[in-house]
Amino acid sequence: MRPRHLRSAWAIALLALLPVAAAFAAALLPPHEAFALSARALDPQTLEARFKVADGYYLYRDKLKFNLDGAAPVTISAELPAGKVKHDEFFGDVETYRGLVVIRLPLATAQASHKLTLMTESQGCADVGVCYPPQRQVLTLDIPAAAAGPSEVVVAPIGRPAWLK
Amino acid sequence: MEVGADLVLVSTWRRWLPRLVLMAAIAIAGVLSGKFVGNRIAESNPAPVSGAAVYGVSLPDLAGTPQSLGQWQGKVLVVNFWATWCAPCREEMPELVRAQAKYGAKGLQIVGIGIDDAAKMRQFTQSIHLNYPALDGGFGALELSKAFGNSAMALPFTVIIDREGAIALQKLGPVSPEQLESIATQLL
């Protein structure tokens, strides 16, 4: 008799846990892990950003923005690879990224300073049916001398992202 | 399974209620006394002291008129945090429209708090013939949703408050039609 009681106790315990797990989507990654960002300078006039999109998550191509911080932030015309087209009833066709996304960021002028601050904006969702608000991340990159080769990869700091207003 | 799961969830919340009430009150008090004063969330009363903290929240509707959530006290209040940039939110909302049409007369009140640009929200809510109020929460409403249990600060997030002001369900991700039915049947 006892094992059966134990079994039902376990069954009840497990049943009780199911809705809790479902309701809170406990496995949901924080956005900086779902869309891990790193960047480096390839040369004084070219940066490269990488998003490692975790399985089960995707980023919107048209929500990606890159700026150089300064007295007046400069918009970078990013070379965004083609994404997977997804039809959206409200926004029409939108492109999404999964897996590794490598984005070249050509700068209008070669950087004279040794460091620059790259500001990124991104927005994505999880397949389980939730979306994150737009994320803003800031990275400080070393700029290599003209013939020195790419700089070291800088990983976006983990922290509470700033919500865009 | 869905219905049973909801029953378990509701009873779990009843047990946790005193703690949640306190947490929500503290969180809301902090939110209201901090950055939201004079900003998007206007508070006419001192910090709420009960789990019905939501009744102290006031936000402009899409026409810009302030709306206090307190006007729906005594109803089963379904507060749905959403945005147009959130496809799962937009997919869920027609279900909420159906639930409002079906249960509105019995005391169900759905309220959408949008974390978005008002013009986009107007366009979308008109396109689906929204039959419940849509309020303009701004990005600050994410903090508000966090105070109600949305620790991931992702969308959609729904909190259901019963007639007595107790939290009956907190749900990250779309609420299924079965869940809505089950909640309506239990609480109305």
Whole-number pLDDT of residue A7: 57
Does the pLDDT at position B17 exceed 70? no
Higher pLDDT, residue A15 or B58: B58
A-facing residues of B in 132-161 (CB < 8 A) are: 138-139, 142, 152-156
User: Per residue in A110-132, pLDDT tens?
Assistant: 877 788 999 999 999 999 999 99
Q: Which residue of A has its CA nearest to B149?
A: A24
Partner-chain contact A19 B90, CB within 8 Å: no
Whole-number pLDDT of residue A12: 53
| Distance to chain B for A87, nearest Cα, Å | 11
Please tell me the distance from the alpha carbon of residue A119 to that of residue A139, in angstroms, as a whole number.
7
Does the pLDDT at position A47 exceed 90? yes
Please tell me the distance from the alpha carbon of residue B17 to that of residue B30, in angstroms, as a whole number.
19
- The sign of the dihedral angle between the CA atoms of B10, B16, B22, B28 is negative
| Distance to chain A for B91, nearest Cα, Å | 10
Whole-number pLDDT of residue A148: 76
Indicate the residue type of B175: V
User: Per residue in B27-71, pLDDT tens?
Assistant: 444 444 333 322 222 222 222 334 478 999 999 999 999 999 999
Q: Is A163 on the interface with B (CB under 8 A)?
A: yes
Averaged pLDDT score across all residues of chain B: 79
Residue A82 binned pLDDT confidence (cut-offs 50, 70, 90): very high
Q: Is B118 on the interface with A (CB under 8 A)?
A: no
Partner-chain contact A20 B4, CB within 8 Å: no
Whole-number pLDDT of residue A16: 52
- The sign of the dihedral angle between the CA atoms of B100, B101, B103, B109 is positive
- Sequence-distant (6+) residues with CB within 8 A of B8 are A15, A16, A18, A19
Residue A63 binned pLDDT confidence (cut-offs 50, 70, 90): very high
| Residues of chain A neighbouring B6 (CB-CB closer than 8 A) | 19
Does the pLDDT at position B78 exceed 70? yes
Report pTM.
0.76
Q: Which residue of A has its CA nearest to B114?
A: A133
Q: Is B16 on the interface with A (CB under 8 A)?
A: no
Indicate the residue type of A108: A
Alpha helices in B34-50 (DSSP H): none
| Residues of chain A neighbouring B155 (CB-CB closer than 8 A) | 130-133
Indicate the residue of A15, A25, A165 with minimum beta-carbon distance to B8. A15
DSSP string, B82-99: E-TT-HHHHHHHHHHHHH
DSSP assignment letter at B176: P
| Residues of chain B neighbouring A30 (CB-CB closer than 8 A) | 152
Whole-number pLDDT of residue A11: 56
Does the pLDDT at position B121 exceed 90? yes
Residue A157 structure tokens: 């700091």
Whether ipTM > 0.85 holds is no
Indicate the residue of B6, B153, B173 with minimum beta-carbon distance to A25. B173
